[in-house]
Amino acid sequence: MIQEPPESRSPETRERPIITMVPDVESADQLARERPALRDWMELRLGWWGFVRKNLDEPMPPGVGWWQTLGNLLLTMLVFQFTTGVLMAMYYSPSPQSAYPSVKHITDTVTAGSLIRGLHVWGSTCIVVAMTLHTLRVFFWGSYKKPRELTWVVGVLIFQVMLAFSFTGYLLPWDQKAFWATVVGTRIAATIPFVGQDLLVLIRGGDEVGALTLTRFYAIHVMILPAALMALIGIHLYLVRRHHIAGPVIPQKGAPQPFFPNQLFRDVIVVIIGIGAMFALALLFPPGLEAPADPAGTDFTPRPEWYFLGLYELLKIMPAGWELVATTIVPGIVTIGMLFLPWLDRSRSRHPAKRGWTILLGTFVILMIGLMTLKGILETPPHSAHSAPAEQHARH
Amino acid sequence: MDHETQQPTPPLDAEAMARRKFLGRVVTVLNIAVVGVLAVPAVQFAAAPLKHRLKEEWLDVLGDDELAEGETREVAYTVAVQDGYQKVDRKYVVYLSRQDGEVKCFDPACTHLGCRVKYQSDQHRYFCPCHGGVFDESGKVVSGPPPKGLIQHPVKVEGGRIYVSRMV
Ligand code: HEM
Ligand code: FES
């Protein structure tokens, strides 16, 4: 994938600016006379190898290892997500009449359609898992501390964008599951005092979930969120490079190692495993479709995507009149707490043992979310389980 | 073009500094104006659905003799509504119930988060499948998280027919 230029093998030349590698250019015709290799010609203009080399030489403090591979795994998975998404947009048609048949067409008729859609559906699940692990590792390593506060803040925003991707994408197949999860999910906005009802109309594009909800969600899913995500990831990566990877909480002996070859090799192994898992899931559990959305039906039990099940369970246990706590206050506090974590945790040390309450509270929140999600997954009736093969019967 | 030979600009005198400051402000104001001419119609455009006003429609849904005393039944009917760019026949379902001679019409949307409640005639209760809300046959909350009873639509009985009103 990335080739190391021969020059970078010698340590002296590695430090020198790449521009001096090219014969000193006095004038354009000298360059023309010497017939430089295409690579040198490009190098003078693009500075590409300098960029590549800088990244290959990125210092990894001793102790950096497998846990630091998740970021690159996420990047690769996002490339898959974008590719499969753009492909499906070539066949998908966002209207109440055509959405369902177009998704059915993609799944049943288009060559490799079931695989492409399966990769997209399972990709979202895999990304949420990898993103959660990445966040946990950054949290426990205390990597959000000075000077990496904004790397963390941008990360939290990326997290929100990913959840919005999932919520808007869930509606697009316009089957029963999609429709009812959106009816109930958007109603959450209406629980907010004063502005709730207007907010609901704004999100739905009308009073009820209908044609304009679908076009709205589609525009958000394929235009607004990808643009926002690319911008945020650009900033995230810029900051990661600017501040370099934080080493282990207790600095280890030894000099930093360049990213290439050891860390890059670890990255590739993890990418192979992660992408392999995505393919296996997409092939073993091909994506299904339930019956087409029926706004008049009364016998369908809506269920959200599995990673929203924690919230769903929280709603269940709230007493009457307290739904605002589950829909807005608890998720709001967790999000704001995450955004401001670098300033809330005032301990000087990144060591978990020296960050007593942060680690305690963080672990508590993580356990609660985990347990509620698990409870939700266990209580999911098997027929509506996420992409279960049983769903395939519904297709025929 | 050669970036090695690029000269730094000479330091500015007081007049040039003042000019810079002034023009800098002008540029800021103009840029805000440019953002504004896009942002104002953009927000109006995206928020257009807020302008839609609902109006009341009366619909004939059932014969008066088809609902016995003490009975609760599910009734479906269609209304032609404007759904964004298209007119569609939207199907609605309501529960009609006659208690002590009076006909009531309950919306099946649970007042908690809008799942469809299901009436169980053997228990005379409505059950919500989502978070366990239960309502009695007069629509009042019996248990679970719903904050208030089932929403009722106005009903009138005229010429042997039951009419239900709906905001569409
Ligand atoms: C799709 C989403 C994301 C992508 C593609 C991404 C990408 C990356 C990459 C490539 C790295 C460097 C390698 C590594 O540490 O694994 C990194 C580091 C980091 N990420 Fe993310 N990230 C994502 C989401 C997040 C989230 C959700 C958070 C936090 C809430 C976060 C916080 C951080 C922080 C603080 C670092 C610096 C770690 C250090 O210096 O040790 N990232 N990210
Ligand atoms: S939607 Fe009926 S109990 Fe929550």
Nearest CA in chain A to B5: A26
pTM of the model: 0.84
Which helix (H) or strand (E) segment holds residue A124: the answer is helix A113-140
Interface membership of A300 toward B (CB under 8 Å):
yes
A234 Cα–ligand 1 center, Å:
11
Is residue A192 situated within a structural domain?
yes
Identify the pLDDT of residue A320.
Answer: 72
Token pair of A292 as six digits: 């087409």
Nearest CA in chain B to A215: B84
- Please work out whether the CB of residue B146 comes within 6 Å of at least one atom of ligand 2: yes
**If you take atom 1 of ligand 2, which residue's CA is the nearest one?**
B113
Res. A17: pLDDT tops 80: no
**A158 neighbors A233 (Cβ within 8 angstroms):** yes
**Residues A123-143: what's their mean pLDDT?**
96
DSSP per residue, A342-360: HHH---S---GGG-HHHHH
Within-domain flag for A173 = yes
Q: What is the DSSP letter of B81?
A: E
Answer for the pair B93, B102: CB distance below 8 angstroms, yes or no. no
Window 2-31 of A: residues touching B by CB (8 A cutoff) are: 19, 25
Residues in chain A within 8 Å Cβ distance of B129? 301
Confirm or reject contact between A340 and chain B (CB < 8 A). no
Phi, psi torsion values for A236, nearest 5 degrees: -55, -50
CB-CB under 8 Å, B129 with A301 = yes
**DSSP alpha helix (H) spans, chain B:** 14-46
Average pLDDT, chain A: 87
Q: Which atom of ligand 1 is nearest to the CA of A67?
A: 16
Name every residue whose Cβ is closer than 8 Å to that of residue A117 and which is 6 or more positions away in sequence: A84, A88, A103, A106, A107, A287
Output the pLDDT for position A262: 95
Confidence of residue A14 (pLDDT cuts 50, 70, 90): very low
Is the pLDDT reported for residue A280 higher than 50? yes
**Residues A188, B113: C-beta atoms closer than 8 Å:** yes
Look-up of token digits 């030349």: A13
Best of B106, B107, B112 for a ligand 2 pocket test (most atoms within 8 Å of beta carbon): B112
Nearest ligand, measured from the Cα of B131: 2
Burial A23-33 (b: 16+ CB within 10 A, else e): eeeeeeeebee
- The Cα A319–Cα A309 span in angstroms is 18
Q: What is the ipTM of this complex?
A: 0.81
Give domain status of residue A103, yes or no: yes
**pLDDT value for A90:** 98
Count of domains observed in chain A: 1
> Strands across the sheet with B155-158, in order?
B56-63, B161-167, B155-158
Q: Is the CB of A134 under 6 A from ligand 1?
A: yes
A316 in a domain, yes or no?
A: no
Average pLDDT value for chain B: 91
Integer angstrom CA distances of residue A214 from A170, A218, A221, B109? 11, 6, 10, 21
The CATH number linked to A94 is 1.20.810.10
Confirm whether A22 is domain-assigned: no
Average confidence (pLDDT) over A205-233: 97
Ligand 1 midpoint to CA A132 (Å): 10
Percent of chain B with pLDDT over 70: 97
Can you give the pLDDT at residue A178? 95
Is A186:A175 a contact under the CB 8 Å cutoff? Answer: no
CA–CA separation, A15 and A146 (whole Å): 28
**pLDDT, average across residues A274-280:** 97
Mind listing the pLDDT tens digit for each residue in A316-342? Answer: 788 777 878 988 899 999 999 999 999
User: Is A318 part of a structural domain of the chain?
Assistant: no
- Closest ligand 2 atom to residue B129 Cα is 2
- List C-alpha distances in Å: A45 to A13, A145, B17, B100: 19, 38, 35, 88
**For the CA of B117, the nearest atom of ligand 2:** 2
**Token representation of residue A287:** 């994506």
Does residue A281 lie within any of the structural domains?
A: yes
Locate tokens 């492909």: which residue? A87
Residue type at position A310? G
A·B CB contacts under 8 A: 93
pLDDT band at B157 (very low <50, low <70, confident <90, very high): very high
Rounded Cα distance between A288 and A396, Å, is 11
CB contact under 8 Å between A205 and B112, yes or no, is no
Is the CB of A316 less than 8 angstroms away from the CB of B76?
A: no
Nearest CB neighbour to B86, from listed A187, A211, A298: A211
Looking at CA atoms only, how far is residue B125 from chain A in angstroms?
A: 15
CA distances A95 to A170, A180, A215, Å, are 15, 16, 7
* pLDDT tens string B107-133: 999 988 788 899 999 999 999 988 889
Helix A48-56 crosses helix A38-46 at what angle (to 10 degrees)? 80
Q: What is the pLDDT of residue A7?
A: 44
**How far is the centre of ligand 1, averaged over its atoms, from the C-alpha of A127 (Å)?**
13
Which residues in chain B have Cβ-Cβ distances shorter than 8 Å to A211? 83-86, 88
Structural domain boundaries, residue A272? 67-247+258-300
Residues A211 and A217 sit within 8 Å (Cβ to Cβ)? no
Indicate the range of A9-18, A125-134, A199-208, A356-365 predicted with least confidence: A9-18
What are A130's two structure tokens? 């990898």
> Does position A15 have pLDDT exceeding 70, yes or no?
no
State how far the Cα of B114 lies from the Cα of A187, in Å rounded to an integer: 7
b/e burial code for range A119-136 (CB count within 10 A of at least 16 → b)? bbbbbbbbbbebbbebbe
Domain-located, residue A307: no
Q: Write the CA distances from A218 to A35, A174, A225, B56, integer angstroms.
A: 52, 12, 10, 31
